[in-house]
Amino acid sequence: MSAELTQPVASTRDVCLELVSTRPRCRAPSVGASDLARACSAAWRHAKPERVGQNQSEMTDLLSPPQRAVGDDSGVAPQRPLAIGATIAGAASSVVVLLGCMAIGLIGWFASDAGSHGDTRDALRVGADAWLLAHGSQLQLEAATITAVPLGLTAFCAYVTFRLGRWSGATCAVDNLRTALTGALSLAGVYGVVAVGTGIVASLSAARPNLGLAFVGSFVLAVLAGGAGVVAGSGQWSGWRGGVPQFLLAVVTGAATVVLLMFAAGSLLVAMALLADFGAAANVLSRLHVDVSGGLLYTLLVATVAPNAALLGGSYLIGPGFVVGTGTFVSPSAVGLGPVPAFPLLAALPDEGAAPAWTTLLAAAPVFLAAVAAALMLRRFPVREYELGALRGLGAGVLGGILFTLAAFLAGGSVGPGRMSEVGPLLGQTLVAAVAAMGVGGLIGGLAMTWRVRHCVASRTESG
């Protein structure tokens, strides 16, 4: 081999440095030799390119004009402030559902008697009052005060607010949790102002909504639903979630699972009771002499209060039961009813007198469901210490019992004059029974799931 071939091949870095030293006249006035040397050194630190033919896309990229990357922020209009987006979301979420309720009231008024009684303003006012009742405003009539909340309509309002809050969080700049909280307050403030304005316009001497409760109820709903939407839309919940203690996150998750399982159990109980006595519900509708449009309106009305019935069904499962009028009681041990309104959903009520012996077994449902909820929670947040598992299960059960009692309390209220001024669960007895039953169930489920986790870990250790 010749001497020339045995010499080491000069590196790219050496060539660049040699060019700098031998050709100073090529330097631009603003670029020094040291700058060019640093650029060559930086180029040397890049990965060695593949041989020609191994990646034809690189040659294609050289021939193609430069394009802006999708995630490049250069040239893109900056996002609007969250306060503006939240204000739009608060106004839209309140007005859209309000207009829908007013439209349904107008359609129902015309379909019931072809507009022969009252005028369009009365029909629109009925829709506005229903929307205000969904936010807990109450309605003062000449003969009674309506305090019951149609939770089905409330849930729909919360869903719309959540979706629009998520839109504002996704399309606006959300830098931190403080910004998200400010946006949620802006959304809720606009929502509450719309509620108060609606109450002022819809108020009459014969039907007056409570403006203070209307603002408080609408503000709380918008803060919770809209704030959750803003956080979800911003995409930063996964980062903020790391700052929440795992114990608190596990207990809240387990409590929410308990409430959802109890709600599902109450819904199943009401549905089975209606199917068992479907003839009575059909008889009620026939006595009302409703046509097709009236039947559709009754179906819509039942849908707005169906969650109320499901929560009262859960109160029945807990043990103390509920009342449907002053002096009445409905529980697994006994039933005492008087005259009830002709409403199809009330056909699910059991017959008066002593209840069958098997209904007392329903008291085990809250314990079982709380145990299942605690097991599901510890499956997601597992621990190996029995003390921690028991404490998390117990906390989830107790908090779930408190939250379910609060939800059942919101499901009741006054629905009319006289005896119907008292409908809902027995609050004190339901709270004690729910906390006790769900706390015991959560404790059992926590211990059982902790044993399962320890057993699985021990099995894997032995097999490994």
pLDDT digits (tens, 9 = 90+) for 140-185: 998 889 999 999 999 999 999 999 999 999 998 888 888 888 999 9
Please tell me the least confidently modeled range out of 36-45, 375-384, 435-444: 36-45
Give the pLDDT confidence score for residue 460 in this predicted structure.
Answer: 80
What is the reported pLDDT for 86?
Answer: 93
| Three-class DSSP labels, 90-154 | HHHHHHHHHHHHHHHHHHHHHHHHCCCCCCHHHHHHHHHHHHHHCCCCCEEECCCEECCCCHHHH
Nearest-angstrom CA–CA distance, 415 and 426: 16
Is 284 or 400 the better-scoring residue by pLDDT? 400
User: pLDDT per residue over 207-220, tens digit each?
Assistant: 899 999 999 999 99
Q: How many CB atoms lie within 10 A of CB 414?
A: 17
Residue 239's pLDDT is 72
73 pLDDT exceeds 60? no
Radius of gyration of the chain (CA): 33
Share of the chain above pLDDT 70, in %: 81
